[in-house]
Structure 1
Amino acid sequence: MKKSDIINLLGAKYGFVSHLEISTPNTGFQYALIDRTQYARCERAVYGIVDEDALLDQDITYRTSQRTSCGIVNALSTMPPFDLVFVDPHHTYENSFEDIVGAFSLLRQGGALVIHDCNPPNSQVAAPDLTPGDWCGVTYWAYIDFVLGRAGITYYTVDTDYGCGVVFKQPGPDRDTSRLQFDWVRMAWNDDSRYDYFDWNRQRLLNLISVDEFRIREGLPLLTPPSASA
């Protein structure tokens, strides 16, 4: 299951009709797969553009050469809020946290965020600085800082496509995460120990669920594997 599948399934389930992607020239890559029959208002905001000519063939509603999404978010804040905002940031802590906070501010009450790269499989792809090849960076850290213990939200993370965090802007069942929060903050100043703690506790920190559990949770049909005779 891809991030675009989650976006489309949530849209169909909850009747979402407006979608915004916040990404960089090197992230996202699912915008063309968003169901336009579901999302009548579908927009994409890209920050950190270095080469304008390289993006001439891409479908971008808002673009800026600034290294952060702050300017775009401020401009969008005067417009109607979105039902769903997808965030695929530059994976530093600063960019990730700013994008998540900004996206949440553009979301209507009852809407949902989908955040990519929240479940890095190993410490190599979770390096804090840009590395060649697959790179989730520390988006997982910013995501956990945002959701853990926050009132007025419901969140879970689907264990697919490097981890897709789903955050609903509405309260859910109470979870006692006080000890988890304490230990998470205690690890915050050491990249190595923080990732180790995350690795040992990712199920609880992320509220991690499988693709099948996601489908069950959202009342979606399970995918039936083909029979041996098919």
Structure 2
Amino acid sequence: MTRTQIINGLIKKNNYETYLEIGVNTPEQPGYNWVGIDIKTKHGVDPNVDTTFKMTSDEFFENHIKTKYDIIFIDGLHLFEQVERDINNSLENLNDNGTIVVHDTNPVEEITQRRERASDAWHGDVWKAVLKLRLENPNVSIHTVDTDEGCTIIKKGKQDLLKPKDESV
């Protein structure tokens, strides 16, 4: 199962109509997420490609957000602090029954989860943003699908916070 299949499945199951993709990458290339999403209203945010909003996600959320979304896909800059901001901004701009999908949350190799790109594949430290939510935010429900380098599904709801055995986490 791919991220695109997960997103389209959520769209169909929940009758979603509005979609935001953070980090569009290559919008019209077959095999990339953007072109495969089937939904009524689709907006993309990426500073490096021509899409609906050619700007950073920070700039978009600060100055251009005009709607709440049913589903938001986060696959932008793969650094913990940016992903954390994208998740928090997305939660503020998500419809009550909406869903956030975060990509690259379960990298299979250590080299791909480094903050600096060190291989062809790069997932950065995205997973740390999900871990922080599990440790600190009881007002979301989080599930990670172990496919496509990890797709974490976040909804408004309730969860028991993780209690690490090692307090240095």
Alpha-carbon distance in structure 2 between the residues aligned to 1:167 and 1:148: 14
Distance 2:101 2:151 in 1: 6
TM-score of the two chains, using structure 2 as the length reference: 0.88
* Residue identity opposite 2:21 in structure 1: E
Residue 160 (structure 1) aligns with = 147
Q: CA deviation at 1:106?
A: 1.6
Greater Rg over alpha carbons, structure: 1
Verify: 1:62 aligned to 2:53, yes or no: yes
- Tell me the secondary structure at the aligned position of residue 80 of structure 1: coil
RCO greater where, 1 or 2, for CA within 8 Å and sep 6 or more?
2
Question: What is the aligned counterpart of 2:34 among 26, 31, 47?
Answer: 31
Shift of residue 117, structure 1, vs aligned partner: 0.3
Q: How many correspondences in the alignment?
A: 166
In 2: Cα distance, 1:144 partner to 1:24 partner = 24
What is the SS of the residue equivalent to 2:148? coil
Gaps of 5+ in 1: 50-54, 188-230
Give 1:73's aligned residue: 61
Tell me by how many angstroms 1:24 deviates: 5.6
Name structure 2 gaps, 5 residues minimum.
Answer: none
- Letter of the 2:82 counterpart: N
Identity of aligned residues (%): 25
Corresponding residue for residue 129 of structure 1: 116
C-alpha distance in 2, partners of 1:16/1:160? Answer: 23
TM, length-normalised to structure 1: 0.66
Structure 1 position 40 matched with structure 2 position 40? yes
Which structure: greater helix fraction?
1
